[in-house]
Amino acid sequence: MRQSKRIGLYRWTRWGARARTLVVGVLVVTFVGFGSIAWGLQYDQPLDLSDDADDGTALGTSLSNVALGSYSVATGAVSTATGYHSQSTGLNSAAYGGWSVASGDYSTAIGERSSASGKNSTAVGRDSRASGENSTAVGRYSRASGANSTAVGESSTASGGESTAVGENSTASGYDSTAVGRSSKASGYDSTALGEASIASGDYSLATGQYSRALGAESTALGENSTASGVRSVALGQGSEATEAYTVSVGTSTYQRRIVNVADGVADSDAATVGQMKAADATLQDHIDAEAAARAAADTAMQTDIGALQDQALGTSWTAGSNDVAASASGSGSTALGSGASARTRDTAIGSNATVSADGSVALGADTTVASENSVAVGADSSVAAGAAGGVALGQNASVASGATGSVAIGQDSVADEADTVSVGSSGNERRVTNVADGVNATDAVNVQQLQQFSASTSGAINRLDSRIDNLSRDAFSGIAAVAAIAGIPAPAQGKRTSLGIGYGNYKGENAIAVGFKSDITDNIRITTAIAHSNSDVTTSAGVGWSW
């Protein structure tokens, strides 16, 4: 039975014993859900309100829906559509803004023409798109199409599964990839690009610094305009180039840098110092001058004591998360960004499943883990184990083992398993350090040219000595490899709440090498970069930060 009464622009209609419909406006379309509300312009057919319906409001044929705005449509169960031509068709979906669409189950679209089509997806900003399952797109024209992907910034794109893109025009297309900085690109599998226009195209590669490029598979480029194109190569410092496979470069063929503050080498693959070379020369001359002493066995002590590195952690509290796959920043002063990222007090975790479980530490890249305080892991799958305080792991799958306090591992698959050491490889997978300038001070690294000159100057004396002297010569020339890396974090941007970065600073008046980047990506995001070299002549800082 149908009874109807119209008063001005309002019509009350009875369908059966208890049903009733309310239509408000002049352009409302058809609504027949139970316990539902429609508000707009134009009425064609009645809106049915039943005393037996669930609590809430509903649009279309589903229960507990809300539709507000001309031509708005809410047809998904328990859905909400607010705004001109807005649509919420997915289960428990919500669309806010003109022409916004939330079609995925449990999806949310906020902003004009925003679209959340993936299950558990979130799109925030004008014309933003979140089409991947569990994806998040924040910013005008942002796109998150990969499963569990995150895109933050205008025109940012996260198309790879488990990928994270932060910054204007940033792109993370590789699986488990991370791109941070304006126009940064991470296309390699498990790759990480940090800094304006940085590129990480090699699988498991890491590029840090403005215009840095990690092109080779498992390569690492640290510093503005640095390039690592060789397989498993490492380029350290502004403008450095590493073109050969399995090498570490601190300069170019025309611009070299000294490596300073190097402890005496111990193992065959350790770097030797100028002090060790001079000591060996003096011992050899003593043997030449005194035949009896020359025949005595000489043993040059080589000790492992690479200069202590400082790791300064920085961050402010920010909990990031979306639906079922969430980033968690559980402590004060912490930052977590990326699907499944987790950070505790004063920690920073950026990248899919990046995890920091110790105070004052940083993890950058997909699946990175840090379990020791004041430590840094940069690059997909890199890690610092528990019991390795102050450890630094740079490069895909680089690791600092338990007990290796104050140690540094540089490059893909590098392992630092002794305290206060710097490693650029692992047992059976060593790397050369190239473009090393002549050492000057007692703790400087020695290059092959200096070693060859030393060998030529003493070859006549060596020929006059017996096998004991020959053994001493072999000891003096063994273990030439150069490695040094220092990581540090800059201070927060003036007046902002948070900042993130890596870098190196001067320690007790001794010189240091620093690598990093600087860029104001948006009003709230800044990247800094600088480099220090020579003996106390230049000191700079480096960092990347988000401020709000």
- Residue 22 located in a structural domain: yes
- Residue 57 located in a structural domain: yes
Asked if the model's pLDDT at residue 52 lies above 80, the reply is no
Per-residue pLDDT averaged across 464-474, rounded?
48
Regarding predicted confidence, which is higher, 441 or 272? 441
Asked if the model's pLDDT at residue 372 lies above 70, the reply is yes
Regarding predicted confidence, which is higher, 187 or 440? 187
Amino acid 312: pLDDT: 31
- Among 117, 139, 162, which residue terminates a domain? 117
Identify which of 219, 181, 190 has the alpha carbon closest to the alpha carbon of residue 413. 219
Amino acid 321: pLDDT: 40
Residue 544 pLDDT class (50, 70, 90 cuts): low
Regarding predicted confidence, which is higher, 60 or 198? 198
Asked if the model's pLDDT at residue 164 lies above 80, the reply is yes
Give every strand in the sheet of 518-520, ordered side by side: 518-520, 525-528, 543-546
Give the containing element (helix H, strand E) for 464. helix 448-464
**60-74, 124-138, 334-348: range with lowest mean pLDDT:** 60-74
Extended beta strands in 181-319, E state: 185-186, 192-194, 199-200, 206-208, 213-214, 220-222, 227-228, 234-236, 241-242, 247-249
Residue 155 pLDDT class (50, 70, 90 cuts): very high
Asked if the model's pLDDT at residue 298 lies above 50, the reply is no
Asked if the model's pLDDT at residue 430 lies above 60, the reply is yes
Amino acid 286: pLDDT: 74
* 243/431 Cα distance (integer angstroms): 13
- Residue 469 located in a structural domain: yes
Amino acid 34: pLDDT: 45
pLDDT digits (tens, 9 = 90+) for 166-195: 999 999 999 999 999 999 999 999 999 999
For residue 5, the enclosing domain spans: 1-117
Asked if the model's pLDDT at residue 384 lies above 80, the reply is yes
* Domains in the chain, number: 2
**Percent of the chain residues topping a pLDDT of 70:** 64
Amino acid 240: pLDDT: 95
Residue 472 pLDDT class (50, 70, 90 cuts): very low
- Residue 9 located in a structural domain: yes
Regarding predicted confidence, which is higher, 384 or 23? 384
> How many distinct helices (H) and strands (E) make up the chain?
4, 51
Regarding predicted confidence, which is higher, 158 or 509? 158
Amino acid 44: pLDDT: 37
Amino acid 3: pLDDT: 42
Amino acid 197: pLDDT: 97
Residue 461 pLDDT class (50, 70, 90 cuts): low
Please list the residues that pair with 23 across neighbouring strands.
11
Please give the C-alpha separations between residue 131 and each of 6, 118, 158, 176, in angstroms, as whole numbers: 44, 4, 10, 17
- Residue 122 located in a structural domain: no
Residue 392 pLDDT class (50, 70, 90 cuts): very high
Residue 455 pLDDT class (50, 70, 90 cuts): confident
DSSP labels for 76-100? STT-EEESTT-EE-STT-EEESTT-
Q: Which residues contact 282 (CB under 8 A, 6 or more apart)?
A: none
pLDDT digits (tens, 9 = 90+) for 399-420: 999 999 999 999 999 999 999 9
Q: Which pair of structure tokens corresponds to residue 295?
A: 């025949």
- Among 117, 145, 179, which residue terminates a domain? 117
Three-state DSSP state, 463 = helix
Amino acid 493: pLDDT: 56
- Residue 432 located in a structural domain: no
Highest-confidence segment of 21-30, 318-327, 410-419: 410-419
- Among 117, 139, 165, which residue terminates a domain? 117
At residue 115, φ and ψ (nearest 5 deg) are -140, 125
Amino acid 41: pLDDT: 43
Sign of the alpha-carbon dihedral angle for 131, 137, 142, 143: negative
- Residue 285 located in a structural domain: yes
Identify which of 435, 524, 446 has the alpha carbon closest to the alpha carbon of residue 478. 446
**97-106, 114-123, 261-270, 282-291: range with lowest mean pLDDT:** 282-291
- Residue 113 located in a structural domain: yes
Per-residue pLDDT averaged across 374-398, rounded?
94
Per-residue pLDDT averaged across 273-298, rounded?
69
Asked if the model's pLDDT at residue 505 lies above 70, the reply is no
User: Per-residue b/e over 35-52, b at no fewer than 16 CB within 10 Å?
Assistant: bbbbbbeebeebbbbbee
